[in-house]
């Protein structure tokens, strides 16, 4: 219960009011907590009677006459009740044409919703009567949430009706005014309530749930006080659906509110896959009978935590869990939300909502005032700013339940907000129709959504796929190469350094070696190991293996013997083609039988053995389902896994390449990727099957040293490698097309490349090796600021974004990429259990053998129908109980203008994660200024990330290590982390004393305000116990002593002594010294450390509407 003052004219604020007042002071122009109530009045309105009724209601309720000044000499706001409120103001628009008058009324409401309210001077509350026509009015109440909650509206409506009607009937109004304001509760919070909340909120992540439907385009949020525009979606439930909802509520002995809350919890779970969902729910604190008739802020906010598990729970069971969570929270509703934040929320970052980012508010449609012959309706008023990332308000009347979804526009657009509303309605409708269905099985899609998915709907893909991949189009890769040999025998096929082979020469050598392989027992399903340097022998050997009907297994000479041994064993290798020195240096001589080894530098043995076979290869029957090559990739268990690709997979991929890239683009293709990686399949076989030339190089970074590179037309590599080439201006000017894949492509890489190579075509390609190199593709627009997507599925690919049951998720919703079609690999060699786990049945295929590869990659389909890649599902770590996605930290770090690339690794002690370290690639000239840049980077991160996600250390580097394939070598970074000593420049000791006079002046004020004997140079004000009121005091003292232009937001942005001093050091040098620091002996003598939270300064609860 909240007590209420009667006739007091000056008194303290409740915790909820303090929080709202502080947020308003921090950002006075933020309209998020404005309240605008608009009543459309049609009929013969008696304006004088309404004016008197408004005056009577204002007189009866002190809240409508209250302002919140800071008294002279004080630091905290107080509530002052004014003797009178402003009278009803009439705005006459009736002289305008009807359409224009209504348009003016709408503009007035929009402006009122976005207006700035003066809480200190007032008036906070205004009444306006807009006259659109003689019998058409709009009564508008403008006020602020600090004096008006959702329960206040029915009170105002009832009293307006009474005051308007009773004098006309000769009866007086109520004799006792309801004058009063909510007052802070005295006494201690019950220990059992604190214990309940401690247990309930334990383990709630410091960065609460963010809707993954929004995460892909979520922008860096400003401080919590920033006014954030919103976008809204709306839906309704009526008729049979509403009847079933009420029936389910009755069966379970709960309110409709709890059924609706459960539906929202399930939707958030389905969007995110998060098994533990927390939603904020406002609750009325009007327990006393007299409170029901009061106007004011009589609410608290409850974090309702529901643990759903993996989604296998029936909706009815989920409802029971939600009901239990709600009842428990409601029982302990007396603990102010501000106290929960103070006690249990550890992240003082102003951009972070405590405990949750989604709020659910339920209200019954209030009875509107009946004004003698006047028809009264509630006119909709759109909020001007977002309070939370998602706010769902449900309003119930006899006929329907409406849902208004307000979303922070920094996180979503209007189409996405509308989609979220449709998803909620679809899920709820299905749930109340069949409450025994599991949460994971509840549909989110309606007909509109299915049409919006378009090519991502499985049935549509299957139909298109069957046309694009007709069986009569099939031919093995080596046959397509032989067709080019017939067409252009003298054209150059391969170039390596000063050596080259024509198509005829390459074919002759491959045929001779193929004959030798067949003679040694090679054939269908035989695996031939290939361990060669990157010379012309490499394409000769790969073609020979395919001609023999066998499958090649790349064995990188740089791999350790133990790894090679495991690969040979898993792939059941039958033969080996290598060079003599590599046979010994790799240890392969100990792993193979000499009779099974072909040594390519032994007097051309295959040519001697088969001298008469220059043009004809072995007559081997090759089937599309026959094994073509095996590529090994790292495994999560530490054991590499071998992916078995088939001839049909390869042919489908090469036909796509021929349709996508022109003959000009494939004229001279740089082949710089190790054959152990799938991009090599494109680099080698796409040009050879379409009449182009392969330019062999050791790796992408050797391109500047390749003589033939000057004629290259196409380069395929990873973003880090192409960015390095672009930075060095080493991309050949002849290159017309650059294919980029393997890592997330940043816009800056594209911009730098386009700046170096005018007119270049950039393709961003996506695809795991299990689906034959590439599965999605987009030509990246060069004139855009948007991050590149991964485009659309190839015509040869079945691909959609799916939930845990492999069902398509709606546009905008995050899910796992699943892939099927002709590119799908056979599976993992020697790993049947892993194959069954990752290659699942395709429920939409219509055949018994249809399969889908579950990639583990997350994505969403955007409004243009393109796929936005969102990283891996399994990259998450836990550090000190906080779940962290390193990719998010890297993305934010890369957004700094001085950063070229970044990688975050975890430092561990005895296997336990202890801290994050970021390796940051910057320009070489920036490395000498490491300390200044590090400080700037940390400031950049502090404004965008929770403290728990800010790396403990930043290590600036001119280069980041790359592996042999040109990708970032995270293993090497981890090794360096273990070898290099801990650096402290980025995070200096917290106890470091002030050094300069300005730092000493700032530190002295901190000690005074915090009542501490001393503070460290890098201590965070909020973490030392500062709260919002102390922050106000600090702000005033710093403005007096340091600089008058210091803002409250500055104190969030630069929360340490060092940061504030550095921020204003230059200003002070130009504008004079700070005021002398006061003696802090008194503070030192007191020596009592305050441990107040930063609760009020972080976020405020929605307190009902």
DSSP of 424-436: HHHHHHHHHH-TT
Residue 403 lies in a domain: yes
pLDDT of residue 923 exceeding 70, the answer is yes
Could you report the per-residue pLDDT of 744-777, keeping only the tens digit for each? 898 999 999 999 999 999 999 999 999 999 999 9
- Looking at the structure, tell me whether residues 961 and 1032 fall in a common domain: no
> Residue 350: its pLDDT value, please?
53
Q: What is the rounded distance in angstroms from the CA atom of residue 746 to the CA atom of residue 423?
A: 31
Residue 93 lies in a domain: yes
Could you report the per-residue pLDDT of 822-850, keeping only the tens digit for each? 899 999 999 999 999 999 988 776 666 78
Domain end: 623, 644, 666, which one? 623
Q: What is the DSSP letter of 808?
A: B
- Looking at the structure, tell me whether residues 924 and 1056 fall in a common domain: no
> Residue 256: its pLDDT value, please?
97
- Looking at the structure, tell me whether residues 1046 and 965 fall in a common domain: no
CA angle 883, 790, 694 (to 5 degrees): 120
Residue 863 lies in a domain: no
pLDDT of residue 1025 exceeding 70, the answer is no
- Looking at the structure, tell me whether residues 36 and 152 fall in a common domain: yes
Peptide bond into 91 cis (omega under 30): no
In which band, very low, low, confident or very high, does the pLDDT at 1022 lie, cut at 50, 70 and 90?
Answer: low
Task: Compute CA 598 distance to the chain's CA centroid, rounded to the nearest angstrom.
Answer: 52
1051 vs 688, higher pLDDT: 688
> Residue 351: its pLDDT value, please?
52
Residue 200 lies in a domain: no
> Residue 881: its pLDDT value, please?
39
Residues 150 and 364 sit within 8 Å (Cβ to Cβ): no
> Residue 240: its pLDDT value, please?
96
Q: What is the rounded distance in angstroms from the CA atom of residue 1019 to the CA atom of residue 1017?
A: 6
Task: Give bridge partners of residue 839 from the DSSP assignment.
Answer: 853
> Residue 466: its pLDDT value, please?
56
Which CATH number belongs to the domain containing residue 38 in this structure?
A: 3.30.559.10
pLDDT of residue 1091 exceeding 50, the answer is no
Q: State both tokens at 796.
A: 């040869």
pLDDT of residue 319 exceeding 90, the answer is yes
Strands 34-42 and 136-144, by their bridges, are antiparallel
Q: State both tokens at 119.
A: 């809480």
Residue 218 lies in a domain: no
Domain count, the chain: 5
| Average per-residue pLDDT for the chain | 83
Domain end: 979, 1005, 1023, which one? 979
Strands 3-5 and 358-364, by their bridges, are unpaired
Could you report the per-residue pLDDT of 981-1001, keeping only the tens digit for each? 554 333 333 346 788 888 888
Note down the domain range covering 1023.
997-1098
297 vs 1042, higher pLDDT: 297
- Looking at the structure, tell me whether residues 73 and 12 fall in a common domain: yes
- Looking at the structure, tell me whether residues 249 and 358 fall in a common domain: yes
- Looking at the structure, tell me whether residues 975 and 1067 fall in a common domain: no
pLDDT of residue 913 exceeding 50, the answer is yes
Q: Give the whole-number percent of the chain exceeding pLDDT 90.
A: 50
- Looking at the structure, tell me whether residues 1058 and 967 fall in a common domain: no
pLDDT of residue 1084 exceeding 50, the answer is no
- Looking at the structure, tell me whether residues 45 and 100 fall in a common domain: yes
559 vs 540, higher pLDDT: 540
Residue 616 lies in a domain: yes
> Residue 891: its pLDDT value, please?
82
Residue 490 lies in a domain: no
- Looking at the structure, tell me whether residues 965 and 1004 fall in a common domain: no
> Residue 1040: its pLDDT value, please?
84
Query: Phi/psi class of residue 51: alpha, beta or left (left: φ > 0; alpha: ψ in -120 to 50)?
Result: alpha
Give the pTM.
0.69
- Averaged pLDDT for residues 56-83: 90
- Averaged pLDDT for residues 1016-1045: 74
- Looking at the structure, tell me whether residues 257 and 175 fall in a common domain: no
- Phi and psi (nearest 5°) for 1084? -65, -40
From 226-235, 344-353, 992-1001, the region with the lowest mean pLDDT: 344-353
- Looking at the structure, tell me whether residues 278 and 403 fall in a common domain: yes
Could you report the per-residue pLDDT of 844-877, keeping only the tens digit for each? 766 667 899 999 888 888 878 899 988 777 665 6
Domain end: 600, 623, 646, which one? 623
> Residue 74: its pLDDT value, please?
76
Which CATH number belongs to the domain containing residue 561 in this structure?
A: 3.40.50.980
């Amino acid at each position: 219960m909240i007590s209420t003052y009667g006739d007091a004219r000056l008194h303290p604020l409740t915790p909820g009011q303090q929080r709202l007042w502080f947020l308003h002071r921090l950002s006075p122009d933020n309209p998020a907590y404005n309240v605008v109530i608009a009543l459309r009045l049609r009929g013969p309105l008696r304006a004088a009677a309404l004016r008197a009724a408004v005056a009577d209601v204002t007189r009866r309720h002190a809240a409508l006459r209250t302002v919140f000044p800071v008294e002279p000499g004080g630091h905290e706001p107080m509530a002052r009740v004014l003797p009178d409120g402003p009278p009803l103001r009439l705005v006459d628009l009736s002289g305008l044409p009807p359409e224009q008058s209504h348009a003016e009324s709408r503009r007035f409401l929009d402006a009122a919703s976005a207006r700035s309210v003066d809480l200190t001077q007032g008036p906070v509350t205004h009444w306006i009567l807009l006259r659109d026509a003689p019998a058409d009015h709009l009564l508008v109440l403008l006020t602020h949430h600090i004096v008006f909650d959702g329960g206040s509206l029915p009170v105002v409506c009832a009293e307006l009706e009474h005051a308007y009607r009773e004098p006309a009937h000769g009866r007086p109004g109520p004799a006792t005014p309801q004058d009063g304001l909510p007052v802070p509760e005295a006494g201690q919070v019950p220990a059992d309530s604190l214990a309940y909340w401690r247990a309930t909120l334990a383990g709630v992540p410091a960065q609460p749930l963010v809707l993954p439907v929004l995460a892909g385009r979520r922008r860096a949020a400003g401080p919590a006080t920033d006014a954030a525009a919103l976008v809204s979606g709306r839906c309704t439930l009526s008729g049979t659906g509403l009847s079933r909802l009420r029936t389910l509520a009755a069966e379970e002995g709960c309110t409709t509110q709890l059924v609706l809350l459960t539906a929202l919890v399930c939707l958030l779970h389905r969007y995110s896959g998060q098994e533990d969902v927390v939603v904020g729910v406002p609750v009325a604190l009007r327990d006393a009978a007299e409170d029901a008739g009061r106007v004011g802020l009589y609410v608290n906010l409850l974090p309702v935590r529901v643990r759903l598990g993996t989604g296998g729970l029936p909706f009815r069971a989920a409802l029971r869990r939600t009901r239990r969570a709600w009842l428990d929270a409601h029982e302990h509703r007396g603990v102010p939300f501000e106290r929960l934040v103070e006690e249990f929320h550890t992240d003082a970052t102003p951009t972070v909502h405590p405990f949750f980012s989604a709020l659910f508010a339920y209200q019954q449609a209030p009875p509107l005032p009946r004004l003698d012959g006047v028809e009264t309706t509630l006119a909709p008023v759109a909020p001007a700013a977002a309070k939370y990332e998602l706010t769902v308000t449900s309003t119930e009347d006899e006929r329907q339940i409406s849902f208004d979804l307000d979303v922070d526009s920094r996180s979503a657009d209007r189409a996405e907000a509308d989609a979220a509303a449709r998803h909620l309605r679809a899920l709820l409708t299905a749930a109340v129709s069949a409450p025994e269905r599991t949460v994971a099985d509840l549909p989110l899609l309606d007909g509109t959504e299915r049409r919006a998915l378009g090519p991502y709907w499985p049935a549509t893909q299957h139909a298109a796929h069957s046309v694009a991949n007709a069986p009569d189009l099939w031919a093995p890769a080596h046959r397509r190469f032989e067709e080019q040999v017939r067409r252009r025998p003298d054209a150059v096929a391969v170039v390596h350094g000063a050596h080259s082979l024509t198509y005829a020469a390459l074919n002759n050598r491959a045929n001779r070696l193929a004959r030798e392989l067949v003679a040694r027992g090679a054939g269908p399903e035989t695996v031939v190991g290939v361990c060669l340097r990157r010379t012309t022998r490499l394409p000769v050997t790969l073609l020979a293996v395919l001609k023999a009907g066998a499958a090649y297994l790349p064995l990188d000479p740089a791999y350790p013997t133990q790894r090679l041994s495991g690969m040979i064993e898993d792939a059941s290798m039958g033969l080996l083609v290598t060079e003599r020195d590599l046979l010994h240096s790799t240890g392969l001589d100990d792993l193979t039988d000499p009779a099974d080894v072909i040594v390519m530098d032994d007097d051309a043995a295959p040519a001697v053995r088969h001298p008469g076979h220059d043009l004809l290869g072995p007559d081997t029957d090759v089937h599309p389902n026959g094994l073509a090559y095996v590529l090994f990739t790292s495994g999560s268990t530490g054991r590499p896994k071998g992916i078995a690709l088939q001839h049909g997979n390869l042919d489908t991929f090469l036909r796509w390449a021929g349709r996508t890239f022109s003959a000009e683009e494939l004229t001279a293709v740089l082949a710089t990727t190790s054959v152990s990686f799938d991009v090599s399949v494109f680099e080698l076989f796409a040009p050879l099957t379409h009449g182009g030339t392969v330019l062999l190089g050791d790796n992408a970074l050797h391109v500047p040293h390749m003589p033939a590179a000057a004629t290259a037309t196409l380069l395929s590599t990873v973003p880090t490698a192409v960015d390095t080439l672009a930075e060095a201006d080493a991309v050949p000017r002849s290159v017309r097309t650059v294919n980029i894949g393997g890592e997330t492509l940043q816009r800056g890489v594209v911009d730098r490349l386009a700046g170096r190579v005018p007119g270049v075509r950039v393709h961003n390609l996506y695809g795991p090796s299990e689906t034959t190199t590439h599965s999605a593709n987009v030509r990246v627009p060069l004139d855009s600021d948007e991050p590149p997507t991964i485009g659309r599925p190839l015509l040869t690919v079945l691909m959609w974004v799916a939930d845990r049951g492999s069902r398509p998720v709606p546009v905008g919703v995050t899910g796992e990429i699943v892939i099927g079609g002709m590119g799908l690999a056979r599976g993992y060699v020697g790993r049947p259990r892993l194959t069954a786990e990752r290659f699942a049945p395709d429920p939409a295929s219509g055949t018994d053998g249809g399969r889908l590869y579950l990639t583990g990659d997350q994505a969403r389909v955007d409004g243009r129908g393109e796929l936005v890649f969102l990283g891996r599902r399994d990259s998450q770590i836990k550090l000190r109980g906080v779940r962290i996605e390193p990719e998010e930290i890297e993305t934010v770090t890369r957004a700094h203008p001085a950063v070229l690339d970044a990688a975050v690794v975890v430092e561990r002690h005895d296997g336990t994660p202890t801290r994050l370290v970021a390796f940051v690639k910057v320009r070489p000239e920036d490395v000498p200024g490491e300390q200044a840049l590090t400080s700037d980077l940390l400031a950049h991160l502090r404004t965008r990330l929770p403290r728990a996600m800010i790396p403990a250390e930043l290590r600036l580097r001119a280069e980041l290590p790359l592996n042999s394939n040109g990708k970032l070598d995270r293993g090497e970074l981890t090794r360096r982390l273990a070898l290099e000593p801990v650096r402290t420049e980025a995070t200096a000791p917290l106890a470091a004393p002030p050094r300069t006079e300005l730092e000493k002046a700032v530190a002295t004020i901190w000690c005074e305000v915090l009542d501490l004997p001393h503070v460290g140079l890098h201590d965070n004000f909020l973490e030392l116990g500062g709260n919002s009121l102390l922050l106000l005091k600090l702000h005033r003292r710093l403005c007096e002593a340091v600089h008058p232009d210091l803002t409250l937001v500055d104190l969030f942005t630069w929360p340490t002594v060092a940061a504030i001093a550095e921020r204003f050091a230059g200003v002070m040098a130009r504008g004079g010294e700070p005021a002398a620091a006061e003696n802090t002996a008194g503070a030192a003598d007191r020596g009592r450390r305050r441990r107040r939270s930063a609760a009020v300064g972080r976020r405020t609860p929605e307190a009902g509407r």
